[in-house]
Amino acid sequence: MNRNSKIYLAGHRGLVGSALLRRLQAGGYGSVITRSHRELDLARQEQVEAFFEKERPDVVFLAAAKVGGIYANSTYKAEFIYQNMMIAANVIHASYRYGVKKLLNLGSSCIYPRDAAQPLKEEYLLTGPLESTNDAYALAKIAAIKLCRFYNEQYGTDFLSVMPTNMYGPDDNFDFESSHVLPALIRRIYLGKLLMDGRFDALRGNLDFYGKSGKFAAAGEAEVRAELERHGIYTDRVVVWGTGNPYREFLYSDDLADACVFLMEKYEAKDIGEIINIGTGKDLAVKELARLIPRIAGYKGGRSLTPRNLTARRGSCWMFCACALWAGKKKWGWKRG
């Protein structure tokens, strides 16, 4: 990949995709193609084939996916496996058919077995049962990895698969039901602070912005409180799902984008093998996160852990990714953002 390459970035509005777009633009890549979901439905093969036939990109970054947190993954499994398998199959196959020189497939930490030893290593893939709350999404992501591997082996393509740890950053998903643990905690603590401070106009604005409904613009304080309490946000405390015991590793999205572009510039699929992890090698318990965020945000209320709700895998700490060392990065570490 070089600065004259014609690059198709799939999923440019998401957390990882938007970081990749910023990184490519800052790096002088002047020919980056993007399409919104309305313009191009990647789950529809005929649309994908027509797009690739017309645009003929040299390089593809596959960052598009249907994503969500524990609740969404465990509730809408059919949607998660169908949408993500179709997106991967359509984009990877079209990349082969229309001569894409290089492709980077973004995976997920959930591909590894629930009870895999820590820290997680690439060779642990498919060595045990998956976490049941997001197995549908994981299976789709594993299928994408295998597609890249088998196309490389059979057709001589250069399709890389990278597995980032838990991401956070600009353009993250803060929805109450579908967000991941870090953005979920950030929003809930933020709303808890607004409620404690009595800032109801800011609360109405936040609820309407993320709910996309506008129904809280003229809502009374009692209605706003009721909506917040429905999500475990009270004047004196914020309810945190689960026991708080699982450990998570976090990586800032712009740091991931740096690593992805570095790999695409310097390495081929044969150099890294079937998959490569990208992470910091450092993790912390969710309950520690639930203490850290209020301290940063200046929230003085309490946190209430609720073991009755869903709890995912006990830990997910990567082996420290070699590409971070290759790039000579010193900024890796989730507190940076």
**Computed over its alpha carbons, how large is the radius of gyration of the chain?**
21
**Residue 290 near residue 139 (C-beta atoms within 8 A):** no
Which of 8, 112, 137, 252 is flagged as catalytic?
137
Look up 252 and say whether it is catalytic. no
Structure tokens at 287: 């309950």
Relative orientation angle of helices 253-266 and 15-26, to the nearest 10 degrees: 60
Write a three-state SS string for 161-223. Answer: EEEECEEECCCCCCCCCCCCHHHHHHHHHHHHHHHHHCCHHHHHHHHHHHHCCCCCCCCCHHH
Edge-first strand order for the sheet with 32-33 is 32-33, 7-10, 59-62, 102-106, 159-164, 276-278
Beta bridge partners of 304: 239
Tell the residue number behind the tokens 């709303």, with chain if given. Answer: 191
Structure tokens at 187: 């929003």
The residues annotated with a catalytic role in the active site are: 137
